[in-house]
Amino acid sequence: MSVAVYPGSFDPITNGHTSILRSGLVAFEKIVVAVLHNPRKNALFTVDERIEMIRESVEEMGEDPGRVEVDTFDGLLVDYCKRKNARIILRGLRAVADFEYELQMANMNRHLNSEVETVFIMADDAYFYVSSNLIKEAATLGGDVKELVPGPVASRLLAKLGR
Ligand code: PNS
């Protein structure tokens, strides 16, 4: 079975992420969405909240829940891939600004474990400029972002921001 790990911070998951997940499911039989557990990173949502939002978003997408596992990881991504029997790391690419960071990570991961390949999928052009950080910034300042995030995220963002 072709298993891909789709890692990230997902703070929170956006429509850009779900578009990549949807495309990834065309290419791979199973995708493990892996939320990085990084206590040092300043996150708006806890890891548990992020996992719940991803699960709810997958349900909203109508994808077969048996093909999408949602999990958390810490330590090296390539070690996690090995534990999951995954030979593929799935990453989304948006504007050119992503390219250098993604190239560095892909090369580092290949250096750490040459048996794991990074595969990139282009984000849907409607969400090319959407990022979790911009979503949080806009929402915090009162902007309406509900068309850029899955339904379950929109309501939780408002609740988190006390609105
Ligand atoms: O959504 P993000 O924050 O861009 O995701 C970054 C992520 C989680 C993919 C990256 O930080 C990561 O893989 N961290 C795990 C630590 C690791 O393996 N580092 C070495 C490879 S760069």
3-class SS letters over the chain = CCEEEEEECCCCCCHHHHHHHHHHHHHCCEEEEEEECCCCCCCCCCHHHHHHHHHHHHHHHCCCHHHEEEEEECCCHHHHHHHCCCCEEEEEECCCHHHHHHHHHHHHHHHHCCCCEEEEEECCHHHCCCCHHHHHHHHHCCCCCCCCCCHHHHHHHHHHCCC
Domain count of the chain?
Answer: 1
How many angstroms is it from 37 CA to the middle of ligand 1? 10
CA 130/CA 34 separation, integer angstroms: 20
Residue pair 119/88 in contact by the 8 Å Cβ criterion: yes
Q: Does pLDDT of 40 surpass 80?
A: no
For residue 73, the ligand 1 atom closest to its alpha carbon is: 15
CA 158/CA 145 separation, integer angstroms: 10
The Cβ of residue 83 has, within 10 Å, a number of other Cβ atoms equal to 10
Quick one: pLDDT at residue 138? 96
Quick one: pLDDT at residue 95? 81
Quick one: pLDDT at residue 98? 87
How many angstroms is it from 8 CA to the middle of ligand 1? 6
Q: What pTM, to 2 d.p., does this model score?
A: 0.96
For residue 89, the ligand 1 atom closest to its alpha carbon is: 9
If one residue of 5, 6, 9 were mutated to test the ligand 1 pocket, choosing by the most ligand atoms within 8 A of its CB, it would be: 9
Quick one: pLDDT at residue 97? 81
CATH code of the domain in which 150 resides: 3.40.50.620
Q: Is 50 annotated as catalytic?
A: no
Quick one: pLDDT at residue 52? 98
CA 147/CA 62 separation, integer angstroms: 18
List pLDDT tens digits, range 52-82.
999 999 999 999 989 999 999 999 999 999 9
List pLDDT tens digits, range 105-122.
999 999 999 999 999 999
Q: Does pLDDT of 32 surpass 90?
A: yes
Quick one: pLDDT at residue 41? 74
If one residue of 5, 72, 77, 94 were mutated to test the ligand 1 pocket, choosing by the most ligand atoms within 8 A of its CB, it would be: 77
Please give the residue range of the domain that contains residue 150: 3-160
Atom 16 in ligand 1: residue holding the nearest Cα: 76
CA-wise closest residue to 3 among 92, 74, 66, 75: 66
